[in-house]
């Protein structure tokens, strides 16, 4: 699986170029499935958030890039659907577009639905995360980003990459997400980490990690 872990979607030409490079073909020839689930778990969640993400009305470009097709994969529905059926939908797609919201809620439903178990087998899949959709693949998110409380507590996520992410650096909507706060968070996270802003993404392919940015970021 190839990863493009973004803060705020495909916000600039550099991130878009990285996406096309991972796809290995034009966006217009690629089939996408979008996953809105994380948006329902955030403390400030509202039903309009999921609609904006799915419809491409969000300020974070994901579904509105000109895909050949876009479908919706709602993880909370998957346990009630025949597994072979929804797995075939995933395997036929070229890219998963994973919404932001609450990373621990998303992690819970990735595991409950069976998608977390499936992800490592998707060698040719491109996974594009948005905020929590990116953080869910890290080992842990840090107490600062715990909102929804998982049944077993803690702040652990899927650990498909070996670094953590501090998102929305210096964003006006997140005044607490300063570089000083990121440095304190990194000291407590005890592992490799990155602070990234909305113009930054982390590209992972064949084990190589590359920061793609037209903005501000810092490794820890």
Question: Confidence band (pLDDT; 50, 70, 90) for 43?
Answer: confident
Averaged pLDDT for residues 216-220? 97
At residue 19, does pLDDT exceed 90?
yes
Beta sheet of 200-205, edge-to-edge order: 69-72, 31-35, 95-98, 126-130, 2-6, 200-205, 208-213
- 134 contacts 167 by C-beta, under 8 angstroms: yes
CATH number at residue 24: 3.40.50.880
- Our count of domains for the chain comes to 1
Q: pLDDT (tens digit, 9 = 90+) per residue, 28-37?
A: 999 999 999 9
Using 50, 70 and 90 to split pLDDT, how confident is the model at 42?
A: confident
72-120 tens-digit pLDDT: 999 999 999 999 999 999 999 999 999 999 999 999 999 999 999 999 9
For the chain, percent of residues with pLDDT exceeding 90: 91
Compute and round to an integer the Cα radius of gyration of the chain: 16
Domain extent for 13: 2-219
The reported pLDDT for the residue numbered 152 is 87
* Cross-strand partners of 10: none
pLDDT on residue 51: 94
pLDDT tens by residue, 197-208: 999 999 999 999
List the structure tokens of 133: 């959709």
> What pLDDT score does 190 carry?
87
pLDDT in tens, 110-169: 999 999 999 999 999 999 999 999 999 999 999 999 999 999 899 999 999 999 999 999
Integer angstrom CA distances of residue 74 from 80, 85, 94: 11, 14, 17
Q: How far apart are CA 10 and CA 105, in angstroms?
A: 23
Q: Give the model confidence (pLDDT) of 160-199 as tens digits.
A: 999 999 999 999 988 999 999 999 999 999 899 999 999 9
Name the pLDDT band for 16 (thresholds 50, 70, 90): very high
DSSP 184-214: HHHHHH-S-EEEE-TTEEEEEETTEEEEEES
Residues 202, 170: Cα–Cα separation, whole Å: 18
Give the CB-side neighbour count of residue 138, counting CA atoms within 13 A. 28
Residue 58 in this model has a pLDDT that exceeds 90: yes
């Amino acid at each position: 699986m190839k990863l493009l872990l973004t803060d705020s979607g495909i916000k600039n030409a550099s991130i878009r170029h990285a996406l096309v490079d991972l796809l290995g073909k034009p966006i217009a020839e690629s089939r996408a499935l979008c996953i809105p689930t994380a948006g329902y778990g955030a403390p400030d969640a509202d039903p309009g958030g999921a609609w904006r993400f799915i419809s491409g009305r969000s300020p974070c470009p994901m579904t509105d890039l000109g895909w050949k097709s876009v479908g919706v994969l709602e993880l909370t529905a998957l346990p009630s659907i025949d597994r072979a059926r929804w797995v075939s939908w995933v395997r036929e797609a070229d890219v998963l577009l994973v919404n932001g919201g609450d990373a621990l809620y998303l992690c819970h439903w990735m595991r409950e639905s069976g998608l977390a178990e499936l992800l490592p087998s998707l060698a040719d899949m491109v996974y594009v995360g948005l905020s929590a959709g990116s953080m869910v693949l890290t080992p842990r998110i840090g107490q600062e980003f715990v909102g929804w409380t998982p049944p077993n507590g803690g702040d652990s996520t899927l650990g498909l990459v070996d670094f953590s992410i501090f998102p929305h650096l210096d964003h006006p909507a997140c005044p607490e997400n300063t570089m000083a706060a990121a440095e304190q968070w990194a000291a407590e996270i005890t592992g490799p980490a990155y602070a990234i802003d909305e113009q930054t993404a982390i590209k992972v392919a064949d084990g190589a990690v590359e920061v793609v940015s037209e903005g501000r970021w810092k490794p820890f």
